[in-house]
Amino acid sequence: MKRRGRKSGKTFKKSSGVSKIKYIDFINQNYRPTKNDLICLFRVEPAKGIKFEEAVGRVASESSNGTWTDVSIESSLIKELAAKAYYIQPPWTKIAYPHQLFEEGNMSQILSSIAGNIFGMKAVKKLRLEDIYWPETILNSFRGPTHGLRGVRKILKIYDRPITATVPKPKVGLTTNEYIDVAKEIWLGGVDLIKDDENLTNQSYIKFSERVKKMFRLRDKIERETGERKSYLINITAPYKEMIRRAKLVNDYGGEFVMIDILTVGWSALQSFRDINEEYQLAIHAHRAFHAAFTRDRRHGVSMKVIAEVARIIGVDQIHVGTVVGKLESPLTDVKALIQICRETRIKENMKIKILKKDWGKVKPIFPVSSGGIHPGLIPKIIEIFGNDLIIQVGGGVLGHPGGPRAGAKAVRDALEATINNINLEEASKHSRELREALDKWGYKTPI
């Protein structure tokens, strides 16, 4: 066997003006980010024996174009493309990334850089990607929301109050006909949207194709009866090709929304779905199942802020952000920051809540969704936190009502109407047996 290469052993020609690049080259406290740099705010806990600056330099290196050893290959672009850690306030650092490191319009690539290998580096004990400043050039390379907050209000013709949604429970285990029966009661009780839960897709006893058909037929009937707009957020979470097939069905039957578990589906399929959605113009409801696997430890992983930003940039129209008062952990400061991230067009940097500057430009505002362990007694508190531009989703708190789902839905709607009219729930419950029963069962308590 010929093996010319192994014999030659010749040294690779180096270009002129060469110098080796080390972690220290990724730190520059005099650097002033340009408007095209993407900036990451990291919380860094160095491994034992590693200095803060070294850990930061290694993070900047590994997430841009460095590696663990000096290399003999040189190119004019290397220094130009290196990330620069320019803000060093242990445990915090801000790292600026030249936008040319990234492929425009490719979120998977961007995240493989700034949220990739670095979490496993031995040089850090813990590492948290807390927030991102997104430069215009990158923002504009994505489609952004199809409808956004205002577009969703237009679809539903609801302009003056929070929108309500209910997930029929048990989330898996109803047959198609049972699901339809429950949905009917919920819609008739006054809730606007029915939503599938994260793990209901196309099981043998509740097939997607039958469910979509029957649900939209029912929806049309109930809209005529009640004179209110209603819709159904059907879960199309599936392999990409199947997701598209299901979206087409939704469109064919007159649906306006789809629901996607964005994290278990992933960014690549979500992006292509958003592209194809130019044709269908469906509003995308983003469920965040799985997020707490990497958001919950506040010293490691990626924050929910970053996930909400990525989702808005790619183009979901509504996303779950927590409740503060529900069954899933979601502290007030986090939820407030997430509400801003969903709804604002400009945000000033605020290091108290660890949020970097945002200028969303043409990227439409989207709806925050509050969900998980909510019942009527919690609605005033939630509206106090969120204001009016909100989707309140109540599942167990409707289906668990002693009077059944229609009464449960009415209790939610009554609690909502009372709250936006500044009537307290005790007062309102004098005129609503359903609300009274809900308050008697759950009170005003936060569930665990």
Which 375-404 positions form the footprint of a second copy (CB under 8 A)? Answer: 375, 395-397, 399-404
* CA–CA dist 75, 145 (Å, integer): 39
- CB closer to a second copy out of 331 and 387: 331
Q: Is residue 150 close enough to count as binding a second copy by CB under 8 A?
A: no
Nearer to a second copy, 149 or 307 (CB): 307
Q: Are strands 358-359 and 346-347 parallel, antiparallel or unpaired?
A: antiparallel
Instruction: Report 62-101 residues binding a second copy (CB under 8 A).
Output: 64-73, 75, 77-78, 80-82, 100-101
Q: How far is CA 299 from CA 8, 59, 409, in A?
A: 50, 15, 39
Q: Shortest gap between Cβ of 156 and a second copy (angstroms)?
A: 14
Of residues 373, 376, 377, 380, which one binds a second copy by CB under 8 A?
373
- Taking CB under 8 A as the binding criterion, the range among 33-41, 150-158, 233-241, 420-428 that sits at the site for a second copy is 233-241
Give how far Cα 414 sits from Cα of 205, 409, 424, Å. Answer: 34, 9, 11
Minimum Å gap between C-beta 366 and a second copy is 20
169 annotated active-site: yes
Q: Which two tokens stand for residue 439?
A: 């308050």
Q: Which is nearer to a second copy, 176 or 347 (CB)?
A: 176
Nearer of residues 14 and 357 to a second copy, judged by Cβ: 14
Return the exposure string of 397-422: e unless at least 16 CB atoms fall within 10 Å of the residue's CB, then b: bbbbbeebbbbbbbbbbbbbbbbeee
Bridge partners (DSSP) listed for residue 393: 165, 371
Report, in Å, the least distance between residue 363 CB and a second copy. Answer: 17
Of 37, 192, 317, 434, the one binding a second copy (CB under 8 A) is 434
Shortest Cβ 445–a second copy spacing (Å): 11
Omega of the bond leading into 365 within 30 degrees of 0 (cis): no
Among 34, 103, 254, 427, binds a second copy (CB under 8 A): 103
Task: Using the minimum distance from each CB to a second copy, give the nearer residue, 244 or 339.
Answer: 244
State which of residues 153, 327, 336, 381 lies at the interface with a second copy (CB under 8 A): 327
Residue 429 found at the interface with a second copy (CB under 8 A) = no
Nearer residue to a second copy within complex by CB, 255 or 372: 372
Question: Is 300 an active-site residue?
Answer: no
Interacting residue with a second copy among 238, 286, 385, 392 (CB under 8 A):
238
**CA distance linking residue 435 with residue 440, whole number of Å:** 9
Of 135 and 365, CB closest to a second copy = 135
Q: Of the two residues 110 and 347, which places its CB atom closer to a second copy in the complex? A: 110
Least distance to a second copy, CB of residue 32, Å: 22
Instruction: Please tell me the distance from the alpha carbon of residue 197 to that of residue 320, in angstroms, as a whole number.
Output: 12
DSSP state letter for 201? S
Q: Which tokens belong to 412?
A: 């939610």
Q: Interaction with a second copy in 333-362: which residues (CB under 8 A)?
A: none
> Half-sphere exposure of residue 227, counting CA atoms within 13 Å on the CB side?
0
Q: Does 17 bind a second copy (CB under 8 A)?
A: no
> Which of residues 210, 228, 349, 359 is near a second copy by CB under 8 A?
228
Helix axes 332-343, 304-314, angle to 10 degrees: 20
Interface with a second copy, residue 113, by CB under 8 A: yes
Which range of residues in 250-258, 288-296, 332-340, 352-360 is near a second copy by CB under 8 A?
A: 288-296
| 50 binding a second copy? (CB under 8 A) | yes
The single residue among 31, 36, 45, 47 that binds a second copy, judged by CB under 8 A, is 47
Structure tokens at 36: 């095209």
Which CA distances in Å does 345 have to 69, 339, 348, 357, 363? 42, 12, 10, 11, 8
Nearer to a second copy, 357 or 431 (CB): 431
Catalytic residue among 99, 287, 291, 354: 287
**Does residue 158 interact with a second copy by CB under 8 A?**
no
From CA 52, how far away is CA 93, in angstroms rounded? Answer: 10
Cβ contacts of residue 393 below 8 Å, gap of 6+?
164, 165, 166, 167, 195, 369, 370, 371, 374
Q: Please give the order of strands across the beta sheet that includes 84-89.
A: 84-89, 92-97, 38-46, 124-133, 301-302
Interactions with a second copy, residue window 161-220 (CB under 8 A): 168-175, 178, 181-182, 185, 187-190, 198-199, 201-205
Asked whether the beta carbons of 382 and 431 are under 8 A apart, the reply is no
Quickly list H helices, 170-261.
Answer: 176-189, 208-226, 240-252
Tell me the two tokens of residue 324.
């503060």
Rule CB under 8 A: choose which of 88, 155, 158, 289 binds a second copy.
289
* Active-site residue (options: 169, 207, 300, 327): 169
Tell me the catalytic residues: 169, 287
